[in-house]
Amino acid sequence: MAENRADAGGGILEGKVAVITGAGQGIGRACVDVFLREGAKVLAVDFSGVQDKVAAECGPNCVPFHADVSKEDEIEAMYAAAIDAFGRVDASVQVAGTQGGRTGPEFTAEEYDLMTATNLRGVMFCIKHAARAIKQSGGGGSIMTYTSVAGIGAEQMAPIPYTAAKTAVHGVSRVFAIDYAPDNIRVNVIACGFTKTEMMDGMDADTLAHMEAKPLLGRAATPREQAEVAAFLASDRSSYITGTVIPVDGGWTARLV
Ligand SMILES: NC(=O)c1ccc[n+]([C@@H]2O[C@H](COP(=O)([O-])OP(=O)(O)OC[C@H]3O[C@@H](n4cnc5c(N)ncnc54)[C@H](O)[C@@H]3O)[C@@H](O)[C@H]2O)c1
């Protein structure tokens, strides 16, 4: 029944337009479903090509867009496309991220560049251009980025360049929140704990058990559990929340070990 709330006109994102990056799979794909359920119109962005399939499955309130969000010109084009398609932008959800990489203290400049291009530099340009599009639309809005619990506490399985990028997003988001507060544009971070997406399919049993033992709740999150928080942050129900990092981690960061 809850899935049909938007049809009944009761969704918390009724009348809002959202840009969602990384919409092809995992948490981004779940965000598309939850935002549509709550009445939003969505520009589904990815560079994998799968965004076309997602939009075909989701119907006319979801329009696909191909962009590599490590590139500023493609980011700018993405918000222009949302305005073209739906007339405005109210929310931007940066989910696209580069994962993997070597763990341990050795890293190269190439690894650093690869891990920060989308996860940090791309996110910064997304926030900048999202705010411009939201200001152009009038009425304020909400911008959020998915980072990681690796941005809050140390995790040996998190590569150092990945940790650098995710941690830095926490810092820059706070400054953006100051900059855009006068325009009623809220900027927040959702720090993900272990979340079971397609990319975990190949994970070996020991690593899976190690990761599932971390959260107090003793299990991984579902992508849907992550997406519900983004929908709340994009909605007017979170109108007094800005400049913060919200861990959605089943309690992982609540304990010392
Ligand atoms: N899944 C987890 O356990 C977990 C934990 C901590 C943080 N996170 C973070 O949450 C976010 C989503 O994670 P996920 O597991 O759903 O990821 P995923 O790898 O399953 O999906 C990421 C999507 O982003 C797209 N993408 C990647 N780089 C892009 C780029 N430059 N331009 C456009 N699209 C791009 C990919 O094609 C893919 O569709 C990531 O930022 C990730 O770092 C995830």
Residue 124 pLDDT greater than 80, yes or no: yes
**Does 1 have pLDDT greater than 50?**
no
Predicted confidence (pLDDT) at residue 5 exceeds the cutoff of 60: no
> Which of 169, 200, 196 is CA-nearest to residue 250?
196
Residues 6+ apart with CB under 8 A from 208: 200
Q: What is the CATH number of domain 2-247?
A: 3.40.50.720
Half-sphere CA count of 83, side-chain side, radius 13 A: 15
pLDDT of residue 148 exceeding 50, the answer is yes
- Determine the distance separating the centroid of ligand 1 and the alpha carbon of 144, expressed in angstroms: 14
Distance CA 83, CA 128 (A): 16
112 is catalytic: no
Mean pLDDT of the chain: 95
Residues 163-172, mean pLDDT to the nearest whole number:
98
Instruction: State which ligand 1 atom lies nearest to the alpha carbon of 22.
Output: 24
pLDDT per residue over 177-216, tens digit each?
Answer: 999 999 999 999 999 999 999 877 788 899 889 889 999 9
Q: Is the pLDDT of residue 145 over 60?
A: yes
Q: What is the mean pLDDT of residues 222-235?
A: 98
Query: Which pLDDT tens digit goes with each residue over 14-61?
Result: 999 999 999 999 999 999 999 999 999 999 999 999 999 999 999 999
Distance CA 165, CA 59 (A): 34
Q: Is the pLDDT of residue 3 over 70?
A: no
Is residue 197 within 6 Å of ligand 1 at its C-beta?
yes
pTM score, whole prediction: 0.96
Kindly state the average pLDDT of the residues 159-182. Answer: 98
The answer on pLDDT for 2 being more than 50 is no
Which residue, judged by its Cα, is nearest atom 11 of ligand 1?
A: 95
Domain residue spans of the chain: 2-247
